[in-house]
Amino acid sequence: MVRQQRISAARQLLASGPIRGCDARPPAGASGRSVAGVPAYLDHASTTPLHPAARAAYLVALDDGWADPARLYREGRRARMLLDAARETVAGVLGARPDEISFTASGTAAAGLALLGTAAARHRAGDVVMVSAVEHSSVLHAAAHHERAGGRVVEVPVDGIGRVDPAGFAPVEGTAVASLQHANHEVGTIQPVAEVAERLHAAGVPLHTDAAVTVGHLPVDLRVLGADLLTASAHKFGGPAGVGILAVRTGTRWRSPGPVDERESGRVPGYPDVPAIVAAAAALAARAAELAAQRPRLAGYVAELRRRLPELMDDVELLGDPDPAGSVGHISAFSCLYVEGEALLAGLDRAGIAVSSGSSCTSDVLTPSHVLVAMGALTHGNLRVSFGRESTRADLDALLDVLPGVVREVRARLGATDLGAARG
Amino acid sequence: MTPTPDVVDARGRRCPLPIIDLARAFGSVATGETITLWADDPAAGPDVVAWCRLRGQELVATRELPTGGQEFVVRRRG
């Protein structure tokens, strides 16, 4: 009886709509700053802390969803109920049908399955995979895998703010599938997915959209987007790590590119992590309910950051779409001339400020971010600042207080002062 | 390959040092004149293009150096 009540509690946690006890405002501590242990965590686009709703659902599901959901005895059926409830919840938020949703072990795995599975099912239509030049590495790695297996890849360029021209996405002869992100992970630019989908569909070509940046951060509806496949990653929206979402719309030709078993309707092999999936669904439902209240606050931080940076320092190039309507609203990127990205990260880290960089000196391979290169942006001195539900005004203030001094210090050390004002 | 005295040789220097070298040497370039930069950092290509755009200067030519790296010729517009 107690068990039954707990299962119904878990199902309730998953039900769409506002979750009681989870205030949309950040739980600011005495300092006014947000993420425990980090004075200013501003890298929410890399990963974001577990949502309280996800934590609560996780704990319930660890107790009640531990058994094999493919088994028919009572414990198995309980796990199955939770898995089904999670699937319904995710489908509801994304405007999909439950049988269109599968869970993978990561967003990367979901993107690989989406792209390669569609290419496999449509190999008679051709061997071309089209991708934008600014896709996440998971999509580009899947495309590279397709190329190594003998297929062809066509890369579609972007403009200076990182956006594709829908006309540039005209499918070439023999295109099996195309992939266009919903929004860019480094600069936040929203892509014209619906327009591209329409053009592709006119030629009978399906579209995958990597929505890892947008799911749980702005309203995402599979059918409004017009994409045939959509993928996302739970840890990007307050779910636990280890859960990816793969949506394959009914009628889309898709075949597993690798071994299959009976799990996830034959789409994703291997034992599913039911508690983590339940937690991911709870996070997504909670995020969907909070978005309307939170988005203006985070967009305000981004707008202020973009306004103040050029006032506070010389030679800073703001990246992405200057029009807030064309951007996700919680990510902002910029590059500082004559500065190493690595030195910026280190200087900010000393002050307890966590951000990320697309500059080459911050990567292992010494090559700059392919996104910045495709945009024609300055690749050195690059920073990406990304806000999340826990972000506060104090986080932004900490960054704006510290960054100009760090930039001045690095430029002085490199002897890069007095090198002339902008435009000669 | 040995650079001539009018070449800024930033080979072996990592981002953003080649761009700083270019900017420093550019101070003595007269309007209409050019300067040549050699660099082998993978970020130099995109960053020279971006620097020219930000500074309103003209990237006249780019070529691969036979010994590795790239040559950039930049003209001062004003």
**Which residues lie below 8 Å from residue A69, measured CB to CB, with a gap of 6+?**
A76, A79, A80, A82, A83, A272, A274
Residue A311 DSSP SS3: helix
- pLDDT tens digit string along A309-356? 999 999 999 999 999 999 999 999 999 999 999 999 999 999 999 999
Q: Does residue A302 sit in helix, strand or coil?
A: helix
Q: What H or E segment, with its residue span, contains residue A247?
A: strand A244-248
Q: Does A378 touch chain B (CB under 8 A)?
A: yes
Distances, alpha carbon A103 to alpha carbons A49, A97, A110, A207, A259, in Å: 20, 14, 8, 19, 16
CA angle A298–A301–A302, rounded 5-degree value: 90
- Report which DSSP code applies to A189: B
Side-chain half-sphere of A357: how many Cα atoms within 13 Å? 29
Q: Does B41 touch chain A (CB under 8 A)?
A: yes
Q: What domains does chain B contain, in order, with CATH numbers?
A: 7-75 (3.30.110.40)
CA proximity to A188, closest of A346, A366, A383, A333: A333
**Does residue B52 have an active-site annotation?**
no
With contacts defined as CB-CB under 8 Å, which chain A residues touch B27?
A: 419-420
Report which DSSP code applies to A100. Answer: G
Cβ atoms of residues A64 and A51 within 8 Å:
no
- State the catalytic residue, choosing from B3, B7, B9, B15: B15
Q: What is the pLDDT of residues A136-180, one digit of tens each?
A: 999 999 999 999 999 999 999 999 999 999 999 999 999 999 999
Digitized pLDDT (tens) for each residue of chain A, 424 residues in all:
455 555 555 566 665 443 333 344 444 444 455 666 667 999 999 999 999 999 999 999 999 999 999 999 999 999 999 999 999 999 999 999 999 999 999 999 999 999 999 999 999 999 999 999 999 999 999 999 999 999 999 999 999 999 999 999 999 999 999 999 999 999 999 999 999 999 999 999 999 999 999 999 999 999 999 999 999 999 999 999 999 999 999 999 999 999 999 999 999 999 999 999 999 999 999 999 999 999 999 999 999 999 999 999 999 999 999 999 999 999 999 999 999 999 999 999 999 999 999 887 666 667 899 999 999 999 999 999 999 999 999 999 999 999 999 999 999 999 998 886 544 3
B42 and chain A in contact, CB less than 8 A: yes
pTM (two decimals): 0.92
Is the Cβ–Cβ distance between A115 and A97 less than 8 Å?
A: no
Task: Round to whole Å and give the CA distance between A47 and A64.
Answer: 27
| Cβ-nearest to A338 among B14, B16, B27 | B16
- Spatial separation of the C-alpha atoms in residues A409 and A345, rounded to whole Å: 13
**Best A373, A378, A414 residue to mutate vs chain B (most B CBs within 10 Å):** A378
Is the Cα dihedral A217, A219, A221, A226 positive or negative?
A: negative
Question: Could you tell me the two tokens for A19?
Answer: 């979750």
Q: Could you give the CA distance from residue A372 to residue B70 in angstroms, rounded to a whole number?
A: 20
Q: Are A111 and A146 in contact (CB under 8 A)?
A: no
Report the C-alpha gap between A236 and B2 in whole angstroms: 51
Distance from CA of A392 to the nearest CA of B (A): 32
Contact of A187 with A140, CB cutoff 8 Å: no
Quick check: A173 and A149 in contact, CB under 8 A?
no
Q: Which of A360, A366, A382, A423 to mutate to test the interface with B (most CBs of B within 10 A)?
A: A360
Domains of chain A (ranges; CATH) run 74-285 (3.40.640.10), 291-413 (3.90.1150.10)
